[in-house]
């Protein structure tokens, strides 16, 4: 129970090697972990029908807007029927970060999903350092990055 409540307040720290990923977003652009060396990378699995996912979108937009030189957000849409619906939703929500149309191959590159939203955070050296199941906030991510700021150097 304590572990579950902790996840709601902050990102859970992980240890272990990061898996490299190569993803293509809905606009055909390529995104790789190696391509973002020197930046924090936040990969967020979400769905258009998921209330907590929709709740955190403004925070993810703000993270992207407020931290363009040190953080990249990549949204991975899951459990969708039509890719056009995902793209239309992203446009209507003013999502300013890349959206990848997720599937089992994408999940295999990033990590396990036990619920939506699920977020993985990589440090500037490309190591997966944290994950969160459930909605997260801009403040929680920024606090985590600030606390681990020496890793960015």
Digit-coded pLDDT (tens) for 62-92: 999 999 999 999 999 999 999 999 999 999 9
* Sequence ranges of the domains in the chain: 2-25+36-152
Confidence of residue 3 (pLDDT cuts 50, 70, 90): very low
Nearest to 129 by CA among 14, 10, 36, 41: 14
pLDDT band (50, 70, 90) for residue 1: very low
Confidence at residue 149, expressed as pLDDT on a 0 to 100 scale: 80
pLDDT of residue 12: 53
pTM as predicted: 0.87
Distance CA 55, CA 137 (A): 9
Give me the CATH code for the 2-25+36-152 domain, please: 3.40.30.10
Q: Which long-range contacts (CB under 8 A, 24 or more apart) does 20-23 make?
A: 20/109, 20/126, 21/106, 21/109, 21/110, 22/109, 23/74, 23/76, 23/100, 23/106, 23/109
Least confident of 2-11, 17-26, 56-65: 2-11
- Is a pLDDT exceeding 80 seen at residue 56? yes
């Amino acid at each position: 129970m304590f572990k579950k409540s902790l996840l709601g307040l902050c990102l859970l720290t992980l240890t272990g090697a990061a898996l490299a990923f190569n993803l293509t977003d809905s606009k055909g652009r390529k995104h790789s972990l190696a391509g973002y060396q020197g930046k924090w990378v936040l990969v967020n699995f979400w769905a258009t029908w998921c209330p907590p996912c929709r709740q955190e979108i403004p925070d993810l937009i703000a993270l992207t807007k407020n931290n363009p030189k040190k953080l990249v957000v990549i949204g991975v849409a899951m459990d969708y029927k039509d890719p056009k619906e995902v793209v239309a939703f992203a446009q209507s929500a003013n999502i300013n970060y890349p959206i990848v149309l997720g599937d089992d191959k994408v999940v295999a590159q990033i990590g396990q999903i036990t619920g939506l939203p699920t977020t993985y955070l990589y440090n500037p050296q490309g190591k997966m350092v944290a994950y969160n199941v459930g909605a997260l906030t801009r403040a929680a991510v920024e606090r985590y990055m600030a606390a681990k700021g020496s890793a960015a150097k």
